Structure 1
Amino acid sequence: MFAMVASGVALTVRAEQPIMITVTKGFGLSLYASDLGDAKQMALGDEGTLFVGSYKSGSIQALADSNADGRVDKRYVVAKGLEYPEAIAFYKGDLYVAEEERILRFVDIENRLRRPGRGKEVYDRLPG
């Protein structure tokens, strides 16, 4: 999977799809992560963790570049078995996941990647 985020705009293309991108002089482009399945949402944590949501598989992954070489070297499953996660957001250290009918909050997520817990339901009346 290739993802480019700039000025709040994200472009996502599967690795097997041909793409033509022109990069302005002084900028670069590289593959950060692959094998993410049906990734639909992304949120960036304060410590650089990239959270990726997959709608069809109902999962959220956390991708970390612990040695700062520009490539993912650690992956964590934050949640699985979710009911169509439609949006994710990172705010003040917590990860919020909007499912079809509810919103979950994973408290202090970047310090709990190995054992994130189930997430606390903060709202349960979204129109499904």
Structure 2
Amino acid sequence: MIQMTDKEFENFCRVMQENYGIDLKKKRVLIEYRMIAEVKKRGMHSFQEFLDAMVKDESKELQYTMINQLTTNYTYFCREMAHYHYIETDVLPNLDKDLNELRILVAGCSSGQECYTLLMMLEEYRLLHVLPSIAMVGCDINNAV
């Protein structure tokens, strides 16, 4: 049975933090549970072997596999309503009145429900206030979503 060593856990955490800004220091079970099948599927004998192969993999397939396995893809409509409230009460009233376009990047939004929530909120706001045209892009580090 393959078990994750303390050093391997630290290495996974370091790679995810340094390369993607994702803190997994409290997620040892998650890393172990989600990566064990990938390690076994490739006939590897340790988690470190996966990390070593990932560094050498010019195709980046193993890197994408790790990202897709270790990101959660948590998304839903009206998620983190305090953020939308802040945008409505503090950001929008202070927009430059001469702004022609409002460009918005919604990062870490998995399948996009947060984008739709924001657009609905902005369109409701537009009913009572002047807003410029809106361009929005949603993205996520996980290429499966």
If the length of structure 1 is used for normalisation, what is the TM-score? Answer: 0.23
In terms of fraction of residues, the more strand-rich structure is 1
Largest Rg, 1 or 2: 2
In terms of fraction of residues, the more helix-rich structure is 2
Task: Kindly indicate whether structure 1 or structure 2 has the higher relative contact order, using CA contacts under 8 Å at least 6 residues apart.
Answer: 2
If the length of structure 2 is used for normalisation, what is the TM-score? Answer: 0.21
